[in-house]
Chains A and B, each alone.
Chain A
């Protein structure tokens, strides 16, 4: 009897040991399966560069003093699709390159011509490496073009402004001629707002002297009777329980795969929701303000140095599979840290044809960090259009003219201007600096700024004006100075 009991105990013990071995194995195997299935370790990529790497300022000269600026996204696309091949052809098949003066460059933007400005700085070789496979990166064009001018009278010419070196060039094409005239006439037929160059609007050749910019090519609207509505906007993912699961599913599926067994959901003290895989190998944080932050630990096994093209295609591939791709998404800024092999891409997008502005520098709606051929971070905070907004304060009347914004706030602007240039001078009358300040206008753009009104998130049209080294944001309806930064 005693022997039978001992035997039973032994069998039970063996069974327990065996079952623990089997279960451990199964568990381990399952874990490996999850890792194998996690396609995210190998990021998807996209070569759709042209769509995201487009100029964001299109200036059109109709001849005489008449100019316009194109904001319409479809016309911008059309322009870029037509002009880009010619620019690339000029890089590869140039006959001559000559450094020219700013005066010659300014003269190229008269008659019927087009000026396009890139939002980021990329050298010619970096640019070509993106579009041409196995390109022997040695074009001998050691320049970083920021602006291009194509003039209808010079069909084999391309004028380039290198902002980093502050140099101007004239390239001639060996084989291809391109006439921009039909494009200019097409835009003219569509009816546009009338603009003037800053140098003609403020007669800079007579009102200021060197070293001020008497040839300032930036455009300023002369017509002010146009309406830009303020918009009601929503976050892409709401942290409210009833909406969260639905709205996050697109992103969480792309990040964690369809199996969420090992994903923990936490709620932070500031109401943010954090989804975390493993011990923080991957995480998603969604804040009340709409920011979606993705972080992934660098996997040393897959680490390899990536070229700009590889890194950019990973970044674009990732953003195309990371929730909603907003309208008019474009690369706004690019930086490379060679020490840590980190490529950082900043993207902006459009709401109702206008880009998004922030209250401080270096902030963008979408930021993607690529290190060693892996996307290690995404910060995305985009807003979804939810209707036009109207209230007594933000009534949808004509915009406040940009020159009035500058006039109304002239005292503050002059004080900042002198401070930024270390000039200790008491400002008694801002009109003493009237024309010098205008000659220092570097850019004028209509943008949208997210703000709150009666607990509602709205996008307010603003004038984003860069004067000298400082950016000023003016309320598009009242002309009040909202903020400024360097």
Chain B
């Protein structure tokens, strides 16, 4: 009983310390201290001037200014035509939607460089990264299918960790089980590498629209009219780490009109 309580207590302490560690960020301002007033919605008309208005409840900005940036996410890879001949992927596949959703933890721990990107000569390094990215993507996809097929047949997910149930498996089932576990481990390793490449690969589609430094608690800027597309507004600290971001779309004005409910007039 005592041992159980002690282990529970230890687990609790561990969870708490993990949370505290996560909460005590080194950012000069935390995400909730940044109040994004404008853009007001995640959809903006291409015929209206876009404005950024942000208020930051912090007095640390003077010593540790933060950077605001807007990037336009291109649908097609801007330098797809210039990649080296070593490219093993069809150019048609090089789209931003292929990047997929980024892992939150990795995203907030990545380094964001707002200066003009420096690409390697002949885009050799980038070509290698893209090859590896799609290799991993395809491999993960194939292995996942295999894992799912095995699981559908043998329901391994219900006996994981249950040594008694595992010991009762037939030789054929056990071989399949071993394969299933190995595949899962391999996918897990691939995913780790894939997610790291994902962050870098996604940056290839980005084009800086605005970069500015915020030193005062209130910031306002006329961005001007933006062309139709997908954009990300980012707030980055002095260590180039992401504090907060907002994704928005610029769409055709006619589309906006269609979306206004008939009764509304605001």
Contact = CB atoms under 8 A, between A and B. Distances in A.
Contacts of A432: 59
A110 B266 CA distance: 8
Contacts of B222: 194, 222-223, 225
A65 B44 CA distance: 13
Nearest to A194: B49
A346 interface: no
B17 interface: no
A438 interface: yes
Given A153-B265, A403-B218, A64 B59 contact: no
A226 to B, nearest CB: 12
B226 interface: no
B150 interface: no
Given A63-B265, A64-B266, A403-B218, A222 B53 contact: yes
Contact of B220 (A112, A201, A225, A429): A201
Interface stretch (B35-43, B167-175, B177-185, B229-237): B35-43
Contacts of A434: 59, 216-218
B217 A203 contact: no
B233 to A, nearest CB: 16
B265 A111 contact: yes
B88 interface: no
A403 B217 CA distance: 12
Contacts of A152: 265
A253 interface: no
Interface in B199-226: 216-218, 220, 222
Contacts of A431: 59, 61-62, 216-217
B195 to A, nearest CB: 34
A202 interface: yes
B84 interface: no
A385 interface: no
A52 to B, nearest CB: 36
A149 B229 CA distance: 38
Contact of B35 (A63, A65, A206, A429): A206
B51 interface: yes
Interface string A152-169: 110000000000000000
Contacts of B57: 206-207, 435
Interface in B243-266: 265-266
A237 to B, nearest CB: 45
Contacts of B51: 194, 222
Interface residues of A, number: 27
A407 interface: yes
A223 B222 CA distance: 7
B265 A112 contact: yes
B216 A207 contact: no
Contacts of B53: 196, 200-201, 222
Given A65-B40, A431-B62, A222 B55 contact: no
Contacts of A64: 40, 266
A201 B216 CA distance: 14
A439 to B, nearest CB: 12
B55 A207 contact: yes
A429 B61 CA distance: 12
Interface in A204-224: 206-207, 222-223
Nearest to B59: A431
A465 to B, nearest CB: 15
Nearest to A428: B59
A65 B38 contact: yes
Nearest to A205: B35
A431 B216 CA distance: 8
Nearest to A434: B217
A201 B40 CA distance: 12
Contacts of B59: 429, 431-432, 434
A434 B35 CA distance: 15
B40 A438 contact: no
B52 to A, nearest CB: 10
Contacts of A206: 35, 55, 57
Interface string A414-457: 00000000000000010110110010000000000000000000
B217 A435 contact: yes
A438 B37 CA distance: 16
A63 B265 CA distance: 8
Nearest to B41: A64
Contacts of A435: 55, 57, 217-218
Contacts of A429: 59
A222 B220 contact: yes
A112 B217 CA distance: 30
Given A110-B266, A431-B59, A201 B218 contact: yes
Contacts of B220: 196, 201, 222, 403
A438 B265 contact: no
Interface of B: 35, 37-38, 40, 49, 51, 53, 55, 57, 59, 61-62, 216-218, 220, 222, 265-266
Question: Nearest 3 pairs between A and B by C-beta?
Answer: A203-B55, A431-B59, A203-B35
17 contacts: A63-B265, A110-B266, A111-B266, A112-B265, A194-B51, A194-B222, A200-B53, A201-B37, A201-B53, A202-B218, A207-B57, A222-B53, A429-B59, A431-B59, A434-B216, A434-B217, A435-B57
Given A201-B37, A222-B220, A434-B217, 4 more contacts: A201-B218, A206-B55, A207-B55, A435-B217
